[in-house]
Structure 1
Amino acid sequence: MRGLAWIDLVLLGQRGNLFPWAPVFLGLGIGIYFLAPQEPSTMTLALLAAGGLGMLFVALRRPGGWSAIGWGLALIAAGVLLATVRAHLVAAPALYWRYYGPAEGRVVGLDRSASDALRVTLDRVRLQDVAPWRTPERVRVSLHAESDAEIRPTPGQRLRITGHLMPPHGPVEPGGFDFRRHAWFRGLGAVGYTTRPVEMLPPARGDPGLPVLRLRMRIAERIRAVLPGETGGVAAAVTTGDRSGIPREALDALRGSNLAHLLAISGLHMGLLAGFVFAAVRGCLAAIPPLALRLPLRKVAACVALLVAAAYLALSGGNVATERAFVMTAVVLGAVLVDRRAFSLRAVAVAALIVLVLRPESLLGPGFQMSFAATTALVSVFGAIRDRGWTLGPRWLRPALAVALSSAVAGLATAPFGAAHFNTLSRYGLPANLLTVPVMGAVVMPAAVLAACLAPFGLESWGLRIMGVGLDWILGVARFVSSLDGAQGHVVAPPPQVLPLLTLGALFVVLWQGRARIAGLVPVAAAGLLWLGAERPQVLVAESGGLVGVQTPGGRALSKARGAGFVARVWLENDGDGARQDNAAARWPDPPGPATPRIRRIDLGGQELVHLIGKRAVRSFGRCRADQIVVTSVPAVIPGGCTVYDVRRLRRTGSLAIDKGEIVAARDVAGRRLWNSPPPRRRRLARADTQ
């Protein structure tokens, strides 16, 4: 009982500072759902609901520290229930077999693939000889036909293609990023490509034609007409969210200099836009004495800024990152309207709660993690400066020091998450941001507002050309920084425990009040040690059986120099290896012989791994031995006592990791979830279609 009384006393000491913990506990519940090896049963959900209500009753009936415990447990239960409901609400048909043939659909999205091909997202899909209830609601197709190079379909345009469609792929290695789960929550039921020309069809009768999306694309086309080349592509991206006009070279330069975040319409753009409109409206009204004396200028300016931010949300397409940015901006402006402190940890917590309730799956994404890490760190640091009465040097120097400090704080807060998700570190990212973020705020965003104001008079080109000057500077900095020796470093992928430990420890340091907050450094240090000691699997096998990667003293050796390029790139990035696929293939110790060029062998120390590429390799291989592991990209029956993973078996297991004689399958790590397990009836039909 003495221990319980001590807990109650400690929590009472945190009274008034516990609300920012609400999204933390809700996020814990959401994380528990996604980490579970299988979907929670109805009985489990009922018990969670009853337990959550019981804890809520305790929280309301028992004041003091026990109230905080009750709220925390209730929020964890709510997180599990919320994520479960969301996963079932977004359920939609998906392909569970490979499809080749005619496909029709309406264009609802345009972007570019990793190979720099134009990529379209289609809804209202029709597939030949596929029943409507089995047809995906949305598919994403890359256009690779040479005749399609100059094609730019308009939103609402119906297309007919002859395409290769396939289910969204699972993790390229056990425990890796699960694109199948990502596609489930995005409503994508199939992905693929076409190498044949696209046929444009007239819109369906009565179809309104997606007016907002069409307006976005018209604005983007007008911007690219005034600002040709990569400048226009970047300008269209930061105003409408359309990245389809950005060349691959410009994207690589922005990523190599840690400036790619300037392309995403996220917190930075929404904050700069709303801040500029707020300051401009308030300044203009203050210059009119009758209005300045009679109106609450801050509240009027906040209302106008909120309306402009909402219009920007609609214009940008309303993707997840922009929705999150709008929520955060709305919370800040709402605090102004109710005369509360706009920038506080409470405001950040409210924004996080809204985002998690609307999209629980965003918890797992780098966008959510990096944006809230940066915002929490900035509010904490500048709040501490404000509360302690510190100043940032002389008045004339404060703006520059504030920009430098904010860039450093945001960069340090987001660096671990960026390194964990993208396996890269930009060594010169801080100076690059110091040289470009002020230009984005002082030139690019104000010029975009000016162009919008002049557009009704046909004079938008004045604002766009000013915008282009700022973007040319940003692109020039990106090219210069990314070309420096050692501009980009590579980081090994962390173990799965690292980010949760790091996040919870850092949150304890920021949110807990008193000297005990230093205890949060313990899990942070533990996360760092785990990351430093991270070991990669000795062998990785692609789900298709088309690629094998083996760790050697010189780095991971790949069995093929071409093909499965996405898988190869991710493996090498997770190893912290910046090599290209052809260079990694040259590390394979057994060069292909002239008689059997598609049979690759490598010794694993007591076992031999053999990769058979194609049917000819399987036919020429013969019998195998008990000490061999054979991987092949085609269906195969190989006599002998070896372990065989052909393409049919790999479809069931997913990608493989082999380390110290232990074989781990991606399906075993991911479990049986909604997004990777077709319903029984569809499973039988899918099996029939693949035979």
Structure 2
Amino acid sequence: MAQRGHLFPWVPVCLGCGVGLYFTIRSEPSVGHLLGGAAAALGLAAMVPRTNATVTPILWALALCAAGFSLAGFRAHKMAEPVLGWRYYGPVEGRIVNIDRSASDALRLTLDRVVLRDVPPESRPERVRIALHGPQGFITPEPGLRVIMTAHVSPPGGPVEPGGFDFQRHAWFLKLGGVGYTRTPVLAIAPPDGTQVLFKARMALSAHVQSILSGEVGAFAAAIMTGDRAGMGQDTLETLRISNLAHLLAISGLHMGLLAGFVFAAVRLGFAAVPFVGLRVPAKKISAFVALVAAAGYLALSGGNVATERAFVMVAVALMAVMFDRRVFSLRAVAVAAVIVLCLRPEALLGPGFQMSFAATTALVAVFGWLRDHEVPLGPGWMRPVSAVVISSFVAGAATAPVAAAHFNQFAHFGLIANLLSVPLMGVLVMPAAVLAACLLPFGLDAAALWLMGLGLRWILGVAHWVSGLEGARGAVFSPEPLVLPVLALGMLVVILWQGRLRIAGMIPATLAIVLWTQSERPDVLISEDGSLVGVMTDQGRALSKERGTGFVAMNWLENDGDAALQKAAAARWPKRAPGAIPVTALRGKREAAALLVCDKGEWVVLNVDPPKTADKNLPCTVLHPKKLRQSGAVALFDTQKGVKVVTARQITGARLWNSQ
């Protein structure tokens, strides 16, 4: 009975359980199974009126789980597009639909309307993403421009290690059927077609902002106003991550909330300045509507990526609550926003953005609601804003820290200090100046507002550089087992959402999750999905088989180990024959592969090329090469008392839509 009236916040939790179930099973359910899940959801919901109050929540929970499962499956089928099934080298032609930068700081183009030599239209990927290396500068990339280049294009890769981030799945929901690079000049073959009006306006505004504010300040301002982060260098991004200020760069709930709040307050102030009008119209509701329109415009201008869509949904729910005289900040409002996001993009559940955003929001609403209900004083009037900022920064940081540590393998020790020195300035100077600049831009008077915005961003970047330079600013954290975050989240949700003293029981799974994290084991040996890189755990950390190449895989392995070493330093740990309890030899090239004539029983030999047809197939050792690894994906070896335990990426992911093309 104590839960009656407090069950709605559990709706997205149950819906999310169904979504999570779909993504964790190891075989793709048929369309018939998905239809059966949808029918089961409807059937369970239809039974609700015939049951008592005790059974009703159970039926709703099961119905929502079934609905989430089917919803995720239908979404995956809807996003189906051809995926390149081989490594392609040749001319690539397409229209530019996105411009960003890769982890290696190379400019990167996403193309649609792709044409590949000798590839029929029905087999061409919907989109490909190409990183630009070598001599460039013959064109200025712009939205809608049709370009051609000679490029290496491959299918999206699977997890870099069993249980790791699944880029194939991520690319599937982006309709990205190929990724690659070019070392030859990119040439324009047709002018922009004029269809991507918003993208063109976004890039034009980004260029305008960066022409007034130069360097990293201009790139920061462009990222905040338009979502274009192509001007941000990797050094600046790393500095922001170490200081825990990277969230200020992405257009998320903070930016959307600050913009909507500023517009709402400015319009209300305008009504208050004209009492004759303000007293005769519903000024508060009109202000909320204008703020909602401004937020929608910000969403459109920023490119409408997943994080910004999620932020807009949350702000829209809050503003609609104002318009319909409902409580703005409540767990019910957070739940509505989560349900909308899960229905629109079920795959968002797996991303750190969704998890961190709703973890922070739920914790903030719960804590400030508790402070309000218990009338906890925050100090004298002048101190309350300061107390609110300190409490919100601490609560949001504590709520998102486990998620950030699990996904990014680092912990910002001085992140609270950096946020206390930076977030208030975002609210009182940077975002108001950005709104003012946008309003003055049509009249050519935006330079002064951008200058003010630049002052705030210089301060924030200064704080980031200072904090990231402090000794011990970044702590490395090894990756937990996949079960840890769901169990931790479930425990904390019980603590927050359950009514009554039994909520303390939620600390049991939360504590168990932390214990499981501390007991997580890292593989003794890791082998990449193409055999080009091998990593063996040693007393000094993971030793890598080469110091250059396959950098993304190397970086992820070391980060997942909680090892801050660079690839070159990790490669220096590798002798000719890898150390450790599991004997591993890494051979490179056709010559070394052909020279493999003798090996020991129990030894693992990894080739980065397929062995010659004349190779001895009866060698006593285990030989892994690209042809085998294409079937298994990345391989992890564990030294156990019962012998070597082998875990492959395909064993974890199973056969799914995104890896069975």
Q: Secondary structure at the match of 1:13?
A: coil
> Aligned to 1:115, which of 99, 104, 121?
104
TM-fit CA distance, 1:46: 4.2
Corresponding residue number in structure 2 for 1:657: 636
Distance 1:525 1:652 in 2: 38
Q: Deviations over 1:457-479 (max 9, x none)?
A: 11011110000000000000001
Q: Secondary structure at the match of 2:105?
A: coil
Corresponding residue number in structure 2 for 1:674: 657
Q: Mind listing any 5+ residue stretches in structure 2 that lack a counterpart?
A: none
> Aligned to 1:389, which of 375, 381, 390?
375
1:348 aligned onto 2:337: no
1:229 aligned onto 2:218: no
TM-score (norm 2): 0.97
Whichever residue aligns with residue 454 of structure 2, its letter is: G
Q: Secondary structure at the match of 2:585?
A: strand
Tell me: CA distance 1:467–1:21, structure 2 relative to 1, closer, same or farther (3 Å): same
1:102 aligned onto 2:88: no
Whether the aligned pair in 1 keeps the contact of 2:583 and 2:603 (CA below 8 Å) is yes
Corresponding residue number in structure 2 for 1:686: none
> Aligned to 2:578, which of 565, 577, 602?
602
Distance 1:584 1:250 in 2: 24
Distance 1:350 1:545 in 2: 46
**Bigger shift: residues 371-380 or 137-146:** 137-146
TM-fit CA distance, 1:151: 4.9
Distance 2:228 2:43 in 1: 48
Corresponding residue number in structure 2 for 1:449: 435
Tell me: CA distance 1:159–1:396, structure 2 relative to 1, closer, same or farther (3 Å): same
TM-fit CA distance, 1:377: 0.3
> Aligned to 2:312, which of 323, 326, 343?
326
> Aligned to 1:93, which of 82, 89, 100?
82
Equivalences for 1:431-442 in 2 at 5 Å?
A: 431-442=417-428
Whether the aligned pair in 2 keeps the contact of 1:155 and 1:209 (CA below 8 Å) is no
Q: Secondary structure at the match of 2:195?
A: coil
TM-fit CA distance, 1:619: 2.5
TM-fit CA distance, 1:647: 1.0
Q: Deviations over 1:296-345 (max 9, x none)?
A: 11101000000000000000000000000000000000000110000000
TM-fit CA distance, 1:147: 2.8
Q: Secondary structure at the match of 1:602?
A: coil
Corresponding residue number in structure 2 for 1:83: 72
TM-fit CA distance, 1:613: 1.1
Distance 2:580 2:190 in 1: 58
Distance 1:152 1:662 in 2: 52
TM-fit CA distance, 1:624: 2.3
Distance 2:240 2:474 in 1: 11
TM-score (norm 1): 0.93
> Aligned to 1:642, which of 609, 617, 621?
621
Corresponding residue number in structure 2 for 1:629: 604
**Structure 1 stretches of at least 4 aligned residues deviating more than 6 Å after TM superposition:** none
Whichever residue aligns with residue 641 of structure 1, its letter is: P
Q: Mind listing any 5+ residue stretches in structure 1 that lack a counterpart?
A: 1-11, 591-599, 679-691
Distance 2:109 2:32 in 1: 42
Whichever residue aligns with residue 368 of structure 1, its letter is: F
Corresponding residue number in structure 1 for 2:588: 613
**Bigger shift: residues 160-169 or 657-666:** 657-666
TM-fit CA distance, 1:604: 4.2
TM-fit CA distance, 1:42: 4.2
Distance 1:341 1:557 in 2: 55
Distance 1:152 1:477 in 2: 33
Distance 1:672 1:147 in 2: 40
Q: Secondary structure at the match of 1:65?
A: coil
1:66 aligned onto 2:55: yes
TM-fit CA distance, 1:643: 1.0
Q: Deviations over 1:539-571 (max 9, x none)?
A: 000011011001111111111111111111100
Whichever residue aligns with residue 647 of structure 1, its letter is: P
Equivalences for 1:35-50 in 2 at 5 Å?
A: 35-50=24-39
Distance 1:137 1:44 in 2: 27
Corresponding residue number in structure 1 for 2:238: 252
Whichever residue aligns with residue 162 of structure 2, its letter is: P
Corresponding residue number in structure 2 for 1:196: 184
Distance 2:37 2:307 in 1: 30
Distance 1:45 1:293 in 2: 54
| RMSD of aligned alpha carbons | 1.2
Q: Deviations over 1:173-192 (max 9, x none)?
A: 00100000000001100000
Q: Secondary structure at the match of 2:425?
A: helix
> Aligned to 2:354, which of 368, 372, 378?
368
Whichever residue aligns with residue 443 of structure 1, its letter is: L
Distance 1:313 1:112 in 2: 21
Whichever residue aligns with residue 177 of structure 2, its letter is: G
Q: Secondary structure at the match of 2:636?
A: strand
Q: Secondary structure at the match of 1:164?
A: strand
Corresponding residue number in structure 1 for 2:541: 555
TM-fit CA distance, 1:675: 0.0
Corresponding residue number in structure 2 for 1:584: 570
Equivalences for 1:127-166 in 2 at 5 Å?
A: 127-148=116-137, 151-166=139-154
1:176 aligned onto 2:160: no
> Aligned to 1:569, which of 555, 569, 577?
555
Q: Deviations over 1:412-431 (max 9, x none)?
A: 00000000000000100000
Q: Deviations over 1:342-369 (max 9, x none)?
A: 0000000000000000000000000000
Whichever residue aligns with residue 157 of structure 1, its letter is: L
1:289 aligned onto 2:269: no
Whether the aligned pair in 2 keeps the contact of 1:168 and 1:191 (CA below 8 Å) is yes
Q: Deviations over 1:628-677 (max 9, x none)?
A: 21100001154222211011111111000011201111111110000000
Whichever residue aligns with residue 646 of structure 1, its letter is: H
Corresponding residue number in structure 2 for 1:535: 521
> Aligned to 1:54, which of 43, 47, 52?
43
Whichever residue aligns with residue 649 of structure 1, its letter is: K
Whichever residue aligns with residue 586 of structure 2, its letter is: H
Whichever residue aligns with residue 155 of structure 2, its letter is: P
Whichever residue aligns with residue 270 of structure 1, its letter is: M
**Bigger shift: residues 636-645 or 275-284:** 636-645
Q: Deviations over 1:106-129 (max 9, x none)?
A: 111011111111001111111111
TM-fit CA distance, 1:13: 2.5
Corresponding residue number in structure 2 for 1:26: 15
Whichever residue aligns with residue 38 of structure 2, its letter is: A
1:241 aligned onto 2:227: yes
**Bigger shift: residues 164-173 or 387-396:** 387-396
Equivalent pairs: percent with the same residue? 58
Q: Secondary structure at the match of 2:136?
A: helix
Distance 1:246 1:643 in 2: 45
Distance 1:500 1:476 in 2: 37
Equivalences for 1:487-506 in 2 at 5 Å?
A: 487-506=473-492
The alignment of Structure 1 onto Structure 2 pairs a total of residues equal to: 653
TM-fit CA distance, 1:47: 3.6
Whether the aligned pair in 2 keeps the contact of 1:59 and 1:69 (CA below 8 Å) is no
Q: Deviations over 1:557-596 (max 9, x none)?
A: 11111111111110000000000111111112x2xxxxxx
